[in-house]
Structures are given as structure tokens and as C-alpha cells.
């Protein structure tokens, strides 16, 4: 195997092999990423960099390697979305209200990674409480997309909410990163940064220790440069957890082992409702191309219908804010997090702390959520949204009688400019039109880079699978990846001169 | 006792329903592994879940569910195989998550019933509307600092059963009797310790009044009435207040009121305290609670004999009166003690012994049956010694006093101290002879005044160290002193 000269451009799989063969130490690898992160602060991908911890973990990893006891991710540096609680390391959820919060515990998913030998580089920036599709709602300022349109200096958003993770993977600031996906927060940023993002089945990863946004929708997943890397990370992140009643005890298969099995004989469904008016022509073109690629590799293309798709966004924007309004009630300035000064009684303390602690988008969603759960409105909104959710899930069940996976675009368009959609929440919410259905149905979905727009910006294709069938989703993703031959990388314009 | 209260415009009927919060007897909390012991240092029994830390998730404690099912079965209630935990949302510093996990639309237990016995011998059925599981909140301490409030989260997350009755009670006596009976049932079941002083059982009482047979009136909810005595006071005060209000042309407003135990009156809570819209919705962190019938059946099979059944058995098998049986079954420990004590003994004399000797001494010493210094078995030995005339009833009380203060086996005490009753007539006759010989004057007197025979009995008993069988002494004395048969 020929290694690239700069280890930061390794894939996770390359790096794993290099470390195993002792061609590079974890410390050398980690140092390379620590330097890359320092040189890429312009992107604002990290809320908290943890170089000392990273190097200490790398040294511990090298000691284990020397003793011959190696975990599946031994010595491999990763970035962690700042929604995962990390013991002793500040965890902000992108919010002022948690800007001083240092958890005394480690999330199950991140602990799984450290148990596998991985190294933590730091905590990545994100939309506040994972509410956003552009990383612009972060208290810690927006993340910049490493990608820019051809011949343009305009800064673009990296998508959201896992924008920091997506940008750091795209800009080679880590080998892979964790994300969370409530309505598309892994797949959408992956799509607009030319990276791979997998949201597994609801219940596949433990939610314990992940700051909750909408509990019935939140799922952790990997963000990587290749589908293989996603398979490797997914295996390490997933586990049934007695501390999370909604995690599910389904054996986690060796996703890598079946990755190259191809799509011959698989039935790939094309849901007609995902063809939307006003989408840029390159979206439909790329979608058609994706179907052709799979067909050429032996898959059968089937037309299917998901008739309740048009209700998904409205249902999502009732269910998710409802749960969020309750989940975020604990940020009251009493026990941890930001506490306003000068409050004259408890109600004043709540109001001031929360007004100062939460940004506009979070406040908006708390208001929406409080409204839809209120007496007299519950049946009209929350109950109906839950019924729609059942119908949307049934759409998928029925579609999967005719096919094994679904192929759709991941986003309705490429990365947009910073500030372009901030004044219009609805246009912002529309970014998730292809991804929220999957969360509402609890299914696995992956976004795989499939090509560039004429302006040179990445687009992704989404593959949706049956519950707990991440193996097939990854396998089809790998076939798309192979056919797409997506090799473009952004120019490193951000690097400090 | 009349259940009506008299107003200026005639009789009014009081209608009472109750919501009782009973703390589940469990070493750990409803959704976390933290301890539940009473009296720990503030915030010493708080897990990250109980403190509402970011990313923490509740996990249901199966034992608490089992306790709720057991209680439901003890209330002869429908156990729902599927129930749902909901979030009840409101802000308060002692509610760390900003919501309480409770059960709203689908409780774990549905309708049941409790029978209460009233002083006049009447039995009243009180319907149970539902029982649901929920978390307790923490405690705000407002008296620790001049301008700050402290919060103790030890209680946060402790499992409570909220037991709701139908509006089936008609007097403060019935309300207090219901709470006593409910307390007895949960204590028999071992699902709640019923300790009202420590807040393990707290009651909210709904009171309304109406013209007899008329439609239900508007009710007021009286919060946190935490003793049997207060319940009676609160009901009486509130009913009188409502009658006076209506009769003077006012209308009762549906509201939540607090009972002030110092003044013996209820007063409205500030409207701010009750203006909550709790925004209930199913807790997405918890799956619906699904129970297997086989598991419920196993719990049902393990239920102890409950007060009603025990009372019926005491009446049927032991021939006890309804009153005696009713008193005995109020506490499981008392009933158990009684059964051990009465084994092989005439039940009525066992009841008398328990009431007069044991409960009297416990009361004197400020003890309860649970820490009675003399075991039921030891008492049984004493009673058997009376029955087979080994000792007299009087000696028996002395023996009880000895083992009460010094311990030991009553049979050993009787043997070691030579307390065995003297039934040998020759020995008793010897003592009689001695007394007669020493008191010739008294012998003359008793012939004129046969009632003085009692003095001789006393002297003979003294001579025999109390061991002589009193009946034998009486009979022999009568012969020797040539007294008439009916003296």
C-alpha cells in the first residue's frame, strides 16, 4: 500500500493499517491532526480543542500497541460533536447556557470509541442544541464549509447541525467524527461537505450521555471520508445500553465484512414523492445517475411510493420542538450551566438565565413546542403529528415489501452562503425535506458523496434501509461510492498563511 | 353518627374523594439506582439522573413496578398490562428536569375497591379510580439562609404511587377510616411503610357539599393533609366553609386549598401556584410498560392474607367478635403476634390477655407491638400454664412482669422461682390450719360476718407465697370455717 505523504489525508482504514503495521505511531498521527486543527481555526470547526488530552491518549495507545493489545480503533484520532458529554471536557451543545458545563461522565458512544482505542482531538462546533441546518445557530459562531464554489471566495455553510464534524472530516482535521441526527443533522452536512454520514436505526446507538434534543428522533452516527470508514466507526459506536431503555438489543454485525458484496439482485426503490418542484436540475440528474450506477452493477430499480412524505416536515416540526421544549426545561440556571446575575426571585432567575442562555432558534423551537403541547392544542397538533408519524412509518414498511433499499437525494441543493437563509426559518427547515422522514420512521440512512454541481460543490445521495439493516445500507453506499469515483477535495484556502 | 351537617337552610351532605401519595417501599428510586433511605444528609442520595443532568436517561426500576402491581392486586383492582409514562412539565427548583415522570392517560392500575368499617358497625365501600406510578420531587428549603433557598434532591426520583378514590366518602370519619384502611393494606402488602410523619403517605382531600341526593357540588382540593387527625379537621372546616358560603348566597370556586394545621383551617393557594398547564405527553425516553400476565399472576399468588380476609377468618375460625377481630387486623404485626400468642389457647382469653396485659404495658412503655420485649411465643407459654393450672392468673401477670423486664423463658421463671400453683390439698390445709390457729378472734368474726372469708383467703395465699390454687383455698376454707355455700 502506498501511503500519502501527509497522514491527515489518510482514510480511517488507511490509518488503521498504518498503525497496526507500526508504520506510524498514534502520537505521530495525532500530532499531525493537532497541527492541522491549529492551522484550520478559520473554519471554526471546533468549540474545544483538546491537544494535550489527544497526545496523552495517543501515548497510552502507543503503549498498548507496544504490548500488542490493540482495539479496533487503536490510536486513531477522532473529533466528537459537542453534544456528546465527555468526562472532564467541557460540553456545550453549542449553547451559551452550557458554555461552562464540564460533565462528570462520558457518553456511552464516546466511551465505546475510547474503549476501542480511539483518541479524542476535541469537541466540534454545532448548531445550538442540534437545532439548525447550517451551523449558524451556534453560540460559538458559524462553522465555514471547507468547500467554496469554483472561482468564488464566498463563505458557505457546512450544513448542520453536525457542521463542525462535517467540516473537520472534509478538511482532514480528523480521521472521522461523531455526529447526531434528529432530522438530518448527520446526512445533510455530510452531503454538502462531500463526506459520508450514516444515521443508524433508532436504538442502534445509546443516547445515554448525549445532550437530548428530541429524544424519540435523536441518533448518533459516524461522519467519515469513505463508506468503509463509516462501517468501521459504526461498528464501534453501536451498542445496546442498559442505561438507555430505547436502545435495542440487536447484534451489531461486522459491516466491513459485507461491504464489498455489491448490489447484484438487490431491489432499489425510487420514491416518486422525493421529486420536488423547484429543486435544482442537478439534483434530479444526480439521482437518475445514481440509479443508473446501481442498475449497471446488477440492482433492480423499482418505482415506489411514500404517499405521506409531504406531511413529514410539518409532523417533524411539531414532534421535535415538543420534545425539545421539555428536554430543555432542565437548563434553568439552578444546578449547572449559565446563571443570570441580578435575578430578584426564582421566576426572574429562570427567565433571565434562559433568555441569556438560549439563542433565537432554540427559543423559537421551545415556543413552538410549548404551544403544541398546551391544553386545547395537544390534539390538534401533537396527537395528529404522532398519527402522521405512524402513517409515514407504514409508508416505508409498505415500500420495503417491493424493495430492499431506497435511493433518494440527500439534500434539495448544495451548500448555501452564510446568512443566506437565516432570515427565513421555513426555507432553512426545507433543507431537511429528504432526511426527516427517515428519523420519523426510525430507519437507517446514509449520505454518500455522488458528484459536484456545475459550480463545483458536492452533492450527496441518500440510501435508506430497513430497520437494523445498516449492513445493506453501507453495502449500497459503497457501490454508489465506487461508481461515483468522487475524489474531489476542497482547496485548503483556510490554512494559515 | 349523622353524616349530614346542619346549615341554616337544612341538611347538607359532604362528598369526599381522596388522592393519596404512597411512597413505594424500595431501596432504590423509580428511574435510578440512588438510595431512598429516610434521613440522609442533604443531596447524599442523588444520581445524575435524579439531578436532571444533560444526557441522562431514566431506566424503570422493575421492583417498583412489582410493588405497584402488588398494591393494585391488594386493592382488588384491574392491573393494566400496558401503561405509559408521561411527562408532567412545570418549572420548580426542586424539579431538576423541569418535568415529573408520571402516568397520565394510561395508569398501571385501574378500578378497585376498599371496604371500611365504621364505629357503629357499618361497612362502607370506597371505589378506587386508579393507581399510577410517578416520581417524587426534591425539597426546597427556605429556612436555611436569609435570602437564598436551598434544594435537597434526596427525594427527587423516589417512586410514589398515587391512589385516587371515587367520591364515595360522606364524612370526616369515613375519610379517616379510609386512610387508615389503605395504610393497613399497603403495610400488609409491604409496598409502603405508611409513615405519615416521614411523608411516606400524604393525602390530598377533595371536598364538596350538596343537598342530600342532589347533584354533586363544586369541589375544593385540600393539599397535603398529613395526619389522620388533620383529615378530620380539614374536612369539617372545609365543609362548613362551603355550606356557609352557599347559604349566604356565594358559590364555591373550584380551587386548591392548603390546610393550616396551626389554625385548623383551609385557605386558597396563591393562584400562581395552581395556574399550571402541565403539557403532558408520553415520555420518549421510556417505552410503554408492558406486563406479562404470568408475572402478574405470580405476584398475585404471593400476596399475603389481607386485613378483610384475616378479620373474616378470625371471626369464623376463632369465634372472635367483629370488634375484636377488627382491632387485631389493623396492624399486620399485631395480628401476627396475636395468632402466635393464641395458638392452642382459647381465643377470647388470648384477646383479653393481649388487650389487657400486652397492649397495656406497651402503651405504658411507649412501645409498639413490633418492639415488644416479650415474644408472642413466651406469652403463649404463660397462657398455656394458666390453662393447665400450672400457675394462677395472678402469678401469670407476675411472670409476665418478670420476663418483660428481665427476659427469659416463662416456664423457666416459674420453675426457678417455685411459682407452680399449689393444688395439693394437704399442703393448703396445713396453711389454713396455721392461719386459723393464729387468729382465733378473726375466726369468731367471720362466723358473724361471712364476707371476712376474703381476709382468710389472702392470708392463706400469703402463707403459700401466692402459689395456692385460689379456688381450692376457697373451697377448703368454706368447709373449715363452716360457712354457708353462698358467702
Sheet (strand A77-81) strand order:
A46-49, A119-124, A77-81, A176-181, A219-224, A196-199, A445-452, A458-465, A405-409, A267-271, A300-304
Tell which wins on pLDDT, A79 or B390: A79
The reply to whether A374 touches chain B by the CB within 8 Å rule is yes
Residue A455 covered by a domain: no
Find the angle CA(B421)-CA(B423)-CA(B429) to the nearest 5 degrees.
115
* Domains in chain A, number: 2
Q: Which residue has the cell 405519615?
A: B196
- Compute the Cα dihedral for B343, B349, B353, B354 and give only its sign: positive
Distance separating alpha carbons of residues B351 and B334, to the nearest angstrom: 11
- Within this chain, do residues A246 and A321 fall inside the same structural domain, yes or no? no
- Within this chain, do residues A225 and A337 fall inside the same structural domain, yes or no? no
Q: Which residues pair with B481 in a beta bridge?
A: none
A9 an active-site residue? no
Which of A330, A331, A369, A440 to mutate against chain B (most B CBs within 10 Å)? A330
Residue A448 covered by a domain: no
Secondary structure of chain A as H, E, C letters: CCCCCCHHHCCHHHHHHHHHCCCCCHHHHHHHHHHHHHCCHHHCCEEEECHHHHHHHHHHHHHHHHHCCCCCCCCCEEEEECCECECCECCCCCCHHHCCCCCCCCCHHHHHHHHCCCEEEEEECCCHHHCCCCCCCCCCCCCCCCCCCCCCCCCECCCCCCHHHHHHHHCCCCCEEEEEECCCCCHHHHHHCCCEEEECCCCCCCCCCECCCCCCCCEEEEEECCHHHHHHHHHHHCCCCCCCCCCCCCCCCCHHHHCCCCCCCCEEEEEHHHCCCCCCHHHHHHHHHHHHHHHHCCCEEEEECCCCHHHHHHHHHHHHHHHHHHHHHHCCCCCCCCCCCCCCCHHHHHHHHHHHHCCHHHHHHHHHHHHHHCCCCCHHHHHHHHHHHHHHHHHHHHHCCCCCEEEEECCCCCCCECCCCCCCHHHHHHHHCCCHHHHHHCCCEEEEEEEECCCCCEEEEEEEECCCCHHHHHHHHHHHHHHHCCCCCCCCCCCCC
Instruction: Choose the final residue of a domain: A326, A359, A382.
Output: A382
Task: Read off the pLDDT of residues B251-267 as tens digits, 9 standing for 90 and up.
Answer: 999 999 999 989 989 99
Rounded to the nearest angstrom, the gap between the alpha carbon of residue B62 and the centroid of all alpha carbons in its chain is: 27
Task: Read off the pLDDT of residues B144-188 as tens digits, 9 standing for 90 and up.
Answer: 898 888 999 999 999 999 999 999 999 999 999 999 999 999 999
Q: Do B57 and A98 touch (CB under 8 A)?
A: no
Neighbouring C-alpha atoms within 13 Å toward the C-beta of A174: 33
Tell me the three cell numbers of residue A415: 451548500
Q: Is the pLDDT of residue B192 over 50?
A: yes
Task: Read off the pLDDT of residues A401-423 as tens digits, 9 standing for 90 and up.
Answer: 999 999 999 999 999 999 999 88
- Within this chain, do residues A316 and A255 fall inside the same structural domain, yes or no? no
Task: Read off the pLDDT of residues A23-64 as tens digits, 9 standing for 90 and up.
Answer: 999 999 999 999 999 999 999 999 999 999 999 999 999 999
Task: Read off the pLDDT of residues A169-216 as tens digits, 9 standing for 90 and up.
Answer: 999 999 999 999 999 999 999 999 999 999 999 999 999 999 999 999
Quote the mean pLDDT of chain B: 91
Residue A30 covered by a domain: yes
ipTM here? 0.96
Q: Distance, in angstroms, between A375 CA and closest chain B CA?
A: 7
- Within this chain, do residues A102 and A183 fall inside the same structural domain, yes or no? yes
Tell me the three cell numbers of residue A262: 455489491
DSSP-H helix ranges across B322-469: 322-328, 332-342, 347-353, 359-365, 376-387, 393-406, 410-416, 425-438, 440-448, 453-463
Q: Do B284 and A216 touch (CB under 8 A)?
A: yes
Rounded to the nearest angstrom, the gap between the alpha carbon of residue B20 and the centroid of all alpha carbons in its chain is: 15
Nearest alpha-carbon partner for A372 in A385, A359, A354: A385
Q: Which residue of A has its CA nearest to B148?
A: A345
**Residues counted in chain B:** 487
> Are A442 and A395 a contacting pair, CB within 8 Å?
no
Instruction: Choose the final residue of a domain: A331, A355, A382.
Output: A382
Q: Which residue of B has its CA nearest to A91?
A: B54
Chain B residues with beta carbon closer than 8 angstroms to that of A375: 277, 279
Q: How much is the pLDDT for A228? A: 98
Q: Do A326 and B281 touch (CB under 8 A)?
A: yes
Angle between helices B172-189 and B332-342 (to 10 degrees): 70
Lowest mean pLDDT among A298-302, B1-5, B56-60, B67-71: B1-5
Residue A490 covered by a domain: no
> Are A419 and A152 a contacting pair, CB within 8 Å?
no
Residue A404 covered by a domain: no
Chain B residues with beta carbon closer than 8 angstroms to that of A374: 277, 279
- Mean pLDDT value across residues B273-297: 91
Nearest alpha-carbon partner for B455 in B433, B436, B429, B482: B436
DSSP state, B116? E
> Are A220 and A210 a contacting pair, CB within 8 Å?
yes
pLDDT band at B272 (very low <50, low <70, confident <90, very high): low
Phi, psi of A29 (to 5 degrees): -60, -50
Q: What is the CATH number of the domain that holds A198?
A: 3.90.1300.10
A81 an active-site residue? yes
Residue among B96, B277, B286 whose CB faces A375 most closely: B277
Percent of chain A with pLDDT over 70: 99
Helix (H) or strand (E) holding B69: helix B62-74
Residue A96 covered by a domain: yes
Q: Which residue of B has its CA nearest to A85?
A: B55
Helix (H) or strand (E) holding B10: strand B10-23
Q: How much is the pLDDT for B487? A: 42
Residue among B54, B98, B285 whose CB faces A101 most closely: B54
Which of A326, A375, A378, A382 to mutate against chain B (most B CBs within 10 Å)? A326
- Within this chain, do residues A125 and A25 fall inside the same structural domain, yes or no? yes
pLDDT band at B451 (very low <50, low <70, confident <90, very high): confident
> Are A316 and A432 a contacting pair, CB within 8 Å?
yes
Helix (H) or strand (E) holding B304: none
> Are A109 and A28 a contacting pair, CB within 8 Å?
no
Distance separating alpha carbons of residues B338 and B354, to the nearest angstrom: 7
> Are A266 and A405 a contacting pair, CB within 8 Å?
yes
> Are A222 and A118 a contacting pair, CB within 8 Å?
no
- Within this chain, do residues A77 and A201 fall inside the same structural domain, yes or no? yes
- Compute the Cα dihedral for A48, A51, A53, A54 and give only its sign: positive
Domains of chain B are 4-299 (no CATH), 305-416 (no CATH), 425-481 (1.10.10.410)
Q: How much is the pLDDT for B434? A: 87
> Are A204 and A240 a contacting pair, CB within 8 Å?
no
Which of A318, A373, A440 to mutate against chain B (most B CBs within 10 Å)? A373
Q: Do B55 and A329 touch (CB under 8 A)?
A: no
For residue B468, the SS3 value is strand
Enumerate residues 166 to 195 of chain A having a beta carbon within 8 A of any beta carbon in chain B: none
- Within this chain, do residues A320 and A241 fall inside the same structural domain, yes or no? no
> Are A157 and A415 a contacting pair, CB within 8 Å?
yes
Residue A476 covered by a domain: no
Tell which wins on pLDDT, A101 or A276: A101
Chain B residues with beta carbon closer than 8 angstroms to that of A378: 279-281
Q: Do A335 and B51 touch (CB under 8 A)?
A: yes
- Within this chain, do residues A43 and A128 fall inside the same structural domain, yes or no? yes
Q: Distance, in angstroms, between A330 CA and closest chain B CA?
A: 4
Lowest mean pLDDT among A484-488, B244-248, B277-281, B460-464: B460-464
Q: Do B54 and A207 touch (CB under 8 A)?
A: no
Which domain does A152 fall in, by range?
8-260
- Within this chain, do residues A209 and A127 fall inside the same structural domain, yes or no? yes
Instruction: Choose the final residue of a domain: A333, A359, A382.
Output: A382
Q: Do A325 and B60 touch (CB under 8 A)?
A: no
Chain B residues with beta carbon closer than 8 angstroms to that of A440: none
Residue A411 covered by a domain: no
The reply to whether A378 touches chain B by the CB within 8 Å rule is yes
Would you list which residues of chain B are within 8 Å, Cβ to Cβ, of chain A?
A: 48, 51-60, 87, 89, 91, 93, 96-99, 149, 151, 277, 279-281, 284-287
- Within this chain, do residues A69 and A154 fall inside the same structural domain, yes or no? yes
- Cβ contacts of B298-304, under 8 Å, gap ≥ 24: B299/B66, B299/B69, B299/B70, B299/B73, B300/B73, B302/B70, B303/B70, B303/B73, B303/B74, B303/B189, B304/B188, B304/B189, B304/B190, B304/B332
- Within this chain, do residues A50 and A149 fall inside the same structural domain, yes or no? yes
Distance separating alpha carbons of residues B471 and A168, to the nearest angstrom: 104
Amino acid at each position: 500500500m502506498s501511503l500519502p505523504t501527509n497522514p491527515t489525508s489518510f482514510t480511517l482504514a488507511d490509518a488503521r493499517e498504518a498503525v497496526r503495521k507500526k508504520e506510524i505511531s498514534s502520537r505521530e498521527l495525532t500530532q499531525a491532526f493537532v497541527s492541522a486543527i491549529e492551522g484550520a481555526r478559520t473554519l471554526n470547526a471546533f468549540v474545544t480543542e483538546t491537544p494535550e488530552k489527544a497526545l496523552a491518549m495517543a501515548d497510552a495507545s502507543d503503549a498498548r500497541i507496544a504490548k500488542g493489545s490493540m482495539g479496533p480503533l487503536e490510536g486513531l484520532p477522532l473529533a466528537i460533536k459537542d453534544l456528546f458529554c465527555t468526562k472532564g471536557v467541557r460540553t456545550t451543545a453549542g449553547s451559551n447556557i452550557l458554555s461552562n458545563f464540564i460533565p462528570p461522565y462520558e457518553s456511552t458512544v464516546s466511551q465505546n470509541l475510547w474503549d476501542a482505542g480511539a483518541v479524542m482531538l476535541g469537541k466540534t462546533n454545532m448548531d445550538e442544541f442540534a437545532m439548525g441546518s447550517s451551523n449558524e445557530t451556534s453560540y460559538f459562531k458559524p462553522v465555514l464549509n471547507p468547500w467554496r464554489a469554483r472561482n468564488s471566495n464566498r463563505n458557505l455553510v457546512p450544513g448542520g447541525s453536525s457542521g463542525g464534524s462535517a467540516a473537520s472530516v472534509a478538511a482532514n482535521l480528523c480521521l472521522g467524527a461523531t455526529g447526531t441526527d434528529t432530522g438530518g443533522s448527520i446526512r445533510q452536512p455530510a452531503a454538502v461537505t462531500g463526506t459520508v454520514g450514516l444515521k443508524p436505526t433508532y436504538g442502534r446507538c445509546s443516547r445515554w450521555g448525549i445532550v437530548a434534543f428530541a429524544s424519540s428522533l435523536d441518533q448518533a452516527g459516524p461522519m467519515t471520508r469513505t463508506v468503509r470508514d463509516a462501517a468501521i466507526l459504526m461498528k464501534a459506536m453501536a451498542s445496546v445500553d442498559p442505561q438507555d431503555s430505547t436502545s435495542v438489543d440487536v447484534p451489531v454485525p461486522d459491516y466491513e465484512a459485507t461491504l464489498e458484496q455489491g448490489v447484484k439482485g438487490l431491489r432499489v426503490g425510487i420514491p416518486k414523492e422525493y421529486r420536488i418542484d423547484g429543486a435544482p436540475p442537478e439534483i434530479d440528474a444526480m439521482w437518475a445517475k445514481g440509479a443508473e450506477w446501481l442498475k449497471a452493477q446488477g440492482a433492480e430499480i423499482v418505482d415506489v411510493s411514500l404517499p405521506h412524505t409531504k406531511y413529514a416536515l410539518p409532523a417533524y416540526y411539531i414532534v421535535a420542538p415538543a420534545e425539545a421544549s421539555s428536554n430543555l426545561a432542565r437548563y434553568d440556571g439552578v444546578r449547572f450551566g449559565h446563571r443570570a446575575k441580578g435575578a430578584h426571585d426564582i421566576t426572574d432567575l429562570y427567565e433571565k438565565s434562559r433568555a441569556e442562555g438560549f439563542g433565537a432558534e432554540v427559543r423559537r423551537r421551545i415556543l413552538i413546542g410549548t404551544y403544541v403541547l398546551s391544553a386545547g392544542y395537544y390534539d390538534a397538533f401533537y396527537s395528529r403529528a404522532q398519527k402522521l408519524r405512524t402513517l409515514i412509518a407504514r409508508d416505508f414498511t409498505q415500500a420495503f415489501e417491493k424493495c430492499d433499499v431506497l435511493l433518494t437525494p440527500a439534500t434539495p441543493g448544495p451548500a448555501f452562503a452564510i446568512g443566506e437563509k437565516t432570515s427565513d426559518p421555513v426555507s432553512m427547515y426545507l433543507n431537511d425535506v429528504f432526511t426527516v422522514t427517515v428519523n420519523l420512521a426510525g430507519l437507517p440512512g446514509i449520505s454518500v458523496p455522488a458528484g459536484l454541481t456545475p459550480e463545483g460543490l458536492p452533492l450527496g445521495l441518500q440510501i435508506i434501509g430497513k430497520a437494523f439493516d445498516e449492513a445493506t445500507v453501507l453495502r449500497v453506499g459503497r457501490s454508489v461510492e465506487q461508481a461515483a469515483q468522487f475524489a474531489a477535495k476542497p482547496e485548503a484556502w483556510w490554512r494559515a498563511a | 353518627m349523622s353524616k349530614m351537617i346542619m346549615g341554616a337552610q337544612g341538611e347538607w351532605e359532604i362528598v369526599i374523594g381522596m388522592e393519596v401519595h404512597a411512597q413505594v417501599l424500595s431501596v432504590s428510586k423509580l428511574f435510578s439506582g440512588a438510595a431512598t433511605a429516610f434521613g440522609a444528609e442533604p443531596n447524599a442520595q442523588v444520581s445524575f439522573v435524579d439531578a436532571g443532568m444533560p444526557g441522562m436517561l431514566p431506566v424503570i426500576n422493575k421492583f417498583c413496578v412489582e410493588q405497584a402491581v402488588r398494591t393494585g392486586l391488594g386493592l382488588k383492582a384491574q392491573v393494566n398490562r400496558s401503561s405509559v409514562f408521561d411527562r408532567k412539565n412545570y418549572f420548580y427548583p426542586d424539579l431538576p428536569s423541569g418535568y415529573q415522570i408520571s402516568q397520565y392517560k394510561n395508569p398501571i392500575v385501574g378500578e378497585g375497591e376498599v371496604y371500611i368499617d365504621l364505629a357503629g358497625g357499618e361497612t362502607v365501600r370506597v371505589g378506587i379510580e386508579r393507581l399510577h406510578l410517578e416520581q417524587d420531587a426534591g425539597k426546597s428549603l427556605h429556612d436555611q439562609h436569609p435570602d437564598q433557598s436551598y434544594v435537597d434532591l434526596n427525594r427527587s426520583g423516589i417512586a410514589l404511587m398515587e391512589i385516587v378514590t371515587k367520591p364515595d366518602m360522606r364524612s370526616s370519619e369515613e375519610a379517616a377510616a379510609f386512610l387508615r384502611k389503605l395504610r393497613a393494606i399497603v403495610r400488609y402488602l409491604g409496598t409502603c411503610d405508611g409513615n405519615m410523619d416521614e411523608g411516606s403517605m400524604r393525602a390530598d382531600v377533595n371536598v364538596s357539599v350538596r343537598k342530600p341526593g342532589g347533584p354533586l357540588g363544586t369541589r375544593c382540593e385540600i393539599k397535603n393533609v398529613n395526619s389522620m387527625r388533620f383529615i378530620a379537621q380539614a374536612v369539617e372546616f372545609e365543609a362548613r366553609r362551603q355550606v356557609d358560603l352557599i347559604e349566604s348566597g356565594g358559590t364555591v370556586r373550584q380551587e386548591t386549598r392548603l390546610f393550616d394545621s396551626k389554625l385548623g383551617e383551609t385557605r386558597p393557594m396563591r393562584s400562581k401556584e395552581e395556574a399550571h398547564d402541565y403539557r403532558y405527553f408520553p415520555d420518549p425516553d421510556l417505552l410503554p410498560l408492558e406486563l406479562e400476565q404470568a408475572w402478574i399472576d405470580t405476584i398475585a399468588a404471593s400476596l399475603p392474607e389481607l386485613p378483610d380476609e384475616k378479620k373474616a377468618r378470625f371471626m369464623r375460625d376463632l369465634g372472635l367478635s367483629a370488634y375484636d377481630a377488627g382491632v387485631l387486623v389493623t396492624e399486620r404485626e399485631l395480628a401476627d403476634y396475636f395468632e402466635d400468642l393464641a395458638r392452642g389457647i382459647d381465643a377470647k382469653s388470648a384477646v383479653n390477655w393481649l388487650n389487657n396485659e400486652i397492649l397495656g404495658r406497651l402503651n405504658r412503655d411507649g412501645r409498639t407491638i413490633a418492639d415488644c420485649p416479650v415474644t408472642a411465643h413466651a406469652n403463649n407459654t404463660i397462657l398455656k400454664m394458666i390453662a393447665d393450672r400450672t400457675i394462677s392468673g395472678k402469678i401469670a401477670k407476675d411472670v409476665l412482669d418478670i420476663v418483660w423486664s428481665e427476659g427469659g423463658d416463662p416456664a423457666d421463671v416459674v420453675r426457678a422461682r417455685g411459682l407452680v400453683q399449689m393444688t395439693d390439698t394437704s399442703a393448703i390445709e396445713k396453711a389454713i390450719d396455721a392461719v386459723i390457729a393464729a387468729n382465733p378472734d378473726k375466726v369468731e368474726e367471720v362466723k358473724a360476718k361471712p364476707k371476712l372469708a376474703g381476709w382468710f383467703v389472702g392470708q392463706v395465699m400469703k402463707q403459700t407465697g401466692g402459689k395456692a390454687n385460689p379456688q381450692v383455698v376457697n373451697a377448703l376454707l368454706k368447709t373449715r370455717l363452716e360457712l354457708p355455700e353462698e358467702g
